[in-house]
C-alpha cells in the first residue's frame, strides 16, 4: 500500500545530522497520523552519510536511500527522489536540520484543501548575509518574471501533489524554480506557508559565489524554458523567419531600384542591413533546428545521474552496475 507522503531529502556530507533528522521526521509524521517513506539521496558525499543512511534503513525500512557515484547537485538528487516517490503527496526537506519536519503536517493539510504546491517561507532566516542578499534579489526577480507571489522560491521545505513532481524535469540549478516549472505545467494553485528556520548545527553551508552565478544563469534559462523548452524552433524559427523575410524584402526593393530605376545601390547602408538580416535569419533558423535535434533525445532520456546503490522501502539493497561507456559516434 502506498504511503500517504514521500519525503525526499538531498544529502551531501550531512552524516551528523541524519539520525536527529530521522527522529524529527518520525515524530512529526507519526504524530500527525501520516504514513510515510523517506528517500535520502546521497549526492556523492565524502563523509559517512551513506553509512548513516544504511544504518537508518536497517533500523526502519521506511527510510530508503539512493547513492550517487559522484556529486551531481541538488537538482539531480531531488529528481532521483521524485522518480522513486510512491506517496500521494511528496515533501522535500534539507538535511542540515534548518528545516523543521514539524511544519510538514500543516503544509499537507493545504494540499488536501486543494493546493497543488505549498512552499515554505523562511521569514526570519539564520543565514549569513552572503546568502540572504542574493536570495532576496533572485526571489524578487523571479516573482516579477513568473507572476507567482512567493517570497522564498529556494526554500528547501516544500510539499507537492505527487503528480506535480512527476510532471517537472529538474536539473542544473532549476530546483529553486520548481514552482515556476509547475505553473508552466498547469499547476497554478501555488500557496505559501511561513515556516521556522533554525541555525545550522553541523557542518558548513554549501552556498557560495559559484552557486550564486549559476543561479543567475538558470534564472534566464528557466524564463526561456517556460516558453520554448520543448519547441526551441518556435523562438529561433520565428525570429529567424521574420529576419530572413525582412532582409529578403529589403534586397528585393534594392534590386528593383537598381534594375528598373537605374540608381546605384552599392553605397547604400540599406544594402548592408538587408544582407545582415538575411544571414541572421538563416543562422537563427538553423539554431532552432539544432535545438530541436538536441531537445528530442534529451526528453527521451531524462535521467542525467549515475546511481551507485539503492535501498528501497521494501528492504532490498540494489547495487547498480557501472554505466557502460558510450561508444564513439
In this structure, the answer to whether residues 183 and 63 fall within a common structural domain is: yes
In this structure, the answer to whether residues 189 and 130 fall within a common structural domain is: yes
In a domain, 146, yes or no: yes
In a domain, 319, yes or no: no
In this structure, the answer to whether residues 23 and 154 fall within a common structural domain is: yes
In this structure, the answer to whether residues 126 and 64 fall within a common structural domain is: yes
In this structure, the answer to whether residues 241 and 224 fall within a common structural domain is: no
Q: Check if the beta carbon of residue 51 is closer than 8 Å to that of residue 35.
A: no
Domain end: 229, 258, 284, which one? 229
In this structure, the answer to whether residues 265 and 135 fall within a common structural domain is: no
Angle between helices 104-112 and 18-31 (to 10 degrees): 40
In this structure, the answer to whether residues 248 and 293 fall within a common structural domain is: yes
Residues 254-258: what's their mean pLDDT?
85
Q: Is 176 exposed, middle or buried (0-12, 13-18, 19+ CB in 10 A)?
A: buried
Residues 288-292: what's their mean pLDDT?
65
Q: What percent of the chain has pLDDT over 90?
A: 41
Residue pLDDT, tens place only, 10-68? 999 999 999 999 999 999 999 999 999 999 999 999 999 999 999 999 999 999 999 99
What pLDDT is recorded for position 90? 98
> Where are any strands of DSSP class E within the chain?
5-11, 36-42, 63-68, 89-92, 117-121, 158-161, 190-194, 307-311, 317-319
In this structure, the answer to whether residues 281 and 172 fall within a common structural domain is: no
In this structure, the answer to whether residues 161 and 127 fall within a common structural domain is: yes
In a domain, 308, yes or no: no
How would you list the strands of the sheet with 117-121, edge to edge?
190-194, 117-121, 158-161, 89-92, 5-11, 36-42, 63-68, 307-311, 317-319
Domain count, the chain: 2
Find the range with the poorest average confidence among 98-112, 162-176, 204-218, 232-246: 204-218
Residues 107-118: what's their mean pLDDT?
96
In a domain, 307, yes or no: no
We report the CATH number of the domain holding residue 28 as 3.90.550.10
In a domain, 186, yes or no: yes
pTM recorded for the entire structure: 0.73
Domain of residue 130 covers 5-229
Residue pLDDT, tens place only, 113-150? 999 999 999 887 766 666 677 778 778 888 887 888 89
Partners of residue 317 on adjacent β-strands: 311
In this structure, the answer to whether residues 224 and 238 fall within a common structural domain is: no
In a domain, 40, yes or no: yes
| Average pLDDT of every residue of the chain | 82
In a domain, 309, yes or no: no
In a domain, 324, yes or no: no
In this structure, the answer to whether residues 191 and 276 fall within a common structural domain is: no
Q: Is 32 exposed, middle or buried (0-12, 13-18, 19+ CB in 10 A)?
A: middle
Amino acid at each position: 500500500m502506498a504511503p500517504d507522503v514521500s519525503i525526499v531529502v538531498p544529502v551531501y556530507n550531512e552524516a551528523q545530522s541524519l539520525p536527529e533528522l530521522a527522529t524529527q521526521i518520525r515524530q512529526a509524521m507519526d504524530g500527525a497520523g501520516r504514513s510515510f517513506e523517506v528517500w535520502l539521496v546521497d549526492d556523492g558525499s565524502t563523509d559517512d552519510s551513506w553509512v548513516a543512511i544504511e544504518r537508518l534503513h536497517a533500523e526502519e525500512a521506511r527510510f530508503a536511500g539512493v547513492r550517487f557515484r559522484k556529486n551531481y547537485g541538488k537538482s539531480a538528487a531531488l529528481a532521483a527522489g521524485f522518480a522513486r516517490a510512491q506517496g500521494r503527496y511528496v515533501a522535500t526537506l534539507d538535511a542540515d536540520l534548518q528545516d523543521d519536519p514539524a511544519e510538514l503536517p500543516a503544509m499537507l493539510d493545504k494540499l488536501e484543501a486543494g493546493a497543488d504546491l505549498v512552499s515554505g517561507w523562511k521569514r526570519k532566516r539564520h543565514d549569513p548575509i552572503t546568502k540572504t542578499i542574493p536570495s532576496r534579489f533572485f526571489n524578487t526577480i523571479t516573482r516579477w518574471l513568473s507572476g507567482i507571489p512567493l517570497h522564498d522560491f529556494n526554500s528547501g521545505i516544500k510539499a507537492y501533489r505527487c503528480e506535480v513532481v512527476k510532471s517537472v524535469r529538474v536539473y542544473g540549478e532549476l530546483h529553486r524554480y520548481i514552482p515556476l516549472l509547475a505553473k508552466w505545467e498547469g499547476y497554478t494553485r501555488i500557496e505559501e506557508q511561513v515556516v521556522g528556520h533554525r541555525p545550522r548545527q553541523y557542518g558548513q553551508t554549501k552556498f557560495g559565489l559559484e552557486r550564486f552565478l549559476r543561479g543567475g544563469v538558470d534564472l534566464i534559462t528557466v524564463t526561456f524554458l517556460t516558453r520554448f523548452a520543448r519547441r526551441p524552433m518556435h523562438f529561433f524559427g520565428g525570429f529567424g523567419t521574420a529576419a530572413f523575410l525582412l532582409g529578403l524584402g529589403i534586397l528585393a526593393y534594392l534590386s528593383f531600384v537598381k534594375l528598373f530605376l537605374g540608381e546605384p545601390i552599392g553605397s547604400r547602408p540599406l544594402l548592408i542591413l538587408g544582407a545582415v538580416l538575411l544571414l541572421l535569419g538563416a543562422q537563427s533558423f538553423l539554431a532552432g533546428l539544432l535545438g530541436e535535434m538536441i531537445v528530442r533525445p534529451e526528453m527521451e532520456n531524462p535521467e542525467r545521474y549515475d546511481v551507485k546503490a539503492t535501498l528501497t522501502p521494501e528492504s532490498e539493497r540494489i547495487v547498480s552496475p557501472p554505466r557502460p561507456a558510450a561508444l564513439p559516434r
